Amino acid sequence: MNMLEELRKLPKAELHLHIEGTLEPELLFTLAKRNNILLPYKDIDELKDKYHFHDLQSFLDIYYNGTNVLITKQDFYDLTFAYLAKAKQDGIRHVEIFFDPQSHVSRGIEFKDVIEGISEALEQGKKEFGISYFIIMSFLRHLSQENALEVLEMALPYKDKIKAVGLDSSELGNPPSKFVELFKKCKENNFLTVAHAGEEGPASYIWEALNLLEIERIDHGIRCTEDPELLKTIIQKNIPLTVCPLSNIKLKVYQEMKEHNVKKLFDLGVKVTINSDDPAYFGGYLLENYIQCHNELGFTYKDMCDISKNSIEASFLSSADKLKLIKEIDSLNQKTIV
Ligand code: ADE
Ligand code: ZN
């Protein structure tokens, strides 16, 4: 059995992906040239040399710098379409992608150009590659709730293009409790909600995301194992965790893959999904995350079928759409056993 090819064939959903985190160095240089932006790096190799991170913040500094080359609607389109071509190769059938509007409107970019560039590329990807999608607008937690509320106002005319809202950026010192009013307003506007919690932040941030923001899924959530009561609640309530293994290694949450707790969470019955977070910076897209989980953590092929099923079940797709994809996974699993 060629495991890489079997994993590629599995219908998968990507539920934790920052579109700005798919900006490959080559495209970054192309866009800088197109927009007459002078980069502080002489070439791609010098830029790639910077991709050694010791924590989340050291990554975010480089990542936000990268977004400065995204100026026009076409730039957002090209970024998103380039990601979808990679997603297709990895056997992804459905994506729920984050974008960070505050990183762009704060630089004078129109909200309209950002959302239209991204959503037009996703529509084209749906036609050309058969990849369905939802968009998640993510708020930067290092900024104030007031700033997020202003951006929410800008987003309301484009409400039909946005399925959910999220919370990302520097976690430590910026707990979910800072954004209670924002999330309440988002729910009043019928957005579904997710939040990054327990990536670097403590288990108490995960409690806050669940109890104060009443989110549907936790992004990362890996520090839940530090609080047995929390772990029990997550299992009992079947709350999905969108785990990003390669990201956690690159940002030194774990020193190496063998230390990662995602297999332990899976064995305990947590609904974990595997995702790529910011693949242009973390050394691999979704399939690479899947294969490394198999190779390094002892996930069997059957386990990986369950992981891909989790990704479908934890998505915001309709029950009918979920059922179709789950049946496909089941039949692949059956064939492989025979
Ligand atoms: N923004 C992009 N990637 C992120 C991550 N891993 N954690 C928090 N915010 C992010
Ligand atoms: Zn993330």
Q: Which of 242, 260, 265 is nearest to 296 (CA)?
A: 260
Give the number of the ligand closest to the Cα of residue 278. Answer: 1
212 three-state secondary structure:
coil
Identify whether the C-beta of residue 299 lies closer than 8 Å to the C-beta of residue 293: yes
Residue 64 clears pLDDT 80, i.e. is over it: yes
Best residue for ligand 1 mutational test, from 63, 168, 247 (most atoms within 8 Å of Cβ) = 168
User: CA-CA distance, 92 to 51, in Å (whole number)?
Assistant: 26
As a CATH number, domain 3-335 is 3.20.20.140
User: CA-CA distance, 92 to 281, in Å (whole number)?
Assistant: 19
Which DSSP string do the residues of 28-83 spell out, in sequence order? HHHHHHHTT---SSSSHHHHHTT---SSHHHHHHHHHHHHTT--SHHHHHHHHHHH
Sequence spans of domains, the chain: 3-335
The model scores a pTM over 0.95: yes
- 228 Cα distance to chain centroid: 26
pLDDT tens for 88-107 read 999 999 999 999 999 999 99
Ramachandran class of 143: left when φ > 0, alpha when ψ lies in -120 to 50, beta otherwise: beta
- Mean pLDDT to the nearest integer, 293-299: 98
Q: What percentage of the chain exceeds 70 in pLDDT?
A: 99
**What pLDDT, on the 0 to 100 scale, is given for residue 337?**
59
Q: Which sequence positions are flagged as catalytic?
A: 199
Q: Which residues have C-beta atoms less than 6 Å from ligand 1?
A: 18, 21, 56, 63, 168-169, 196, 199, 247, 277-278
